Amino acid sequence: AVGYPEGKYSGLAFGLGVERMVMLKYGIHDIRLFYDNDLRFLRQF
């Protein structure tokens, strides 16, 4: 897709954003809760 030879390069990408750290700390199982714009939920943090 970007002009690199297929099969020559491989990689792994991951992210540990603020949301993921809060999920681990508070035991939240669904990241979508942060993006529902439910102020009752968001005000807890």
pLDDT tens per residue across span 1-45: 577 888 888 888 887 888 889 999 999 999 999 889 899 988 987
Cβ–Cβ under 8 Å, residues 34 and 42: yes
CA–CA distances in Å: residue 44 to residues 2, 5, 23, 27: 43, 48, 12, 13
pTM score of the predicted model: 0.54
Sorted by sequence, the CB contacts under 8 Å of residue 22 that are 6+ apart come out as 28, 34, 45
Domain map (residue ranges) of the chain: 10-45
Cβ–Cβ under 8 Å, residues 22 and 45: yes
From CA 2, how far away is CA 41, in angstroms rounded? 41
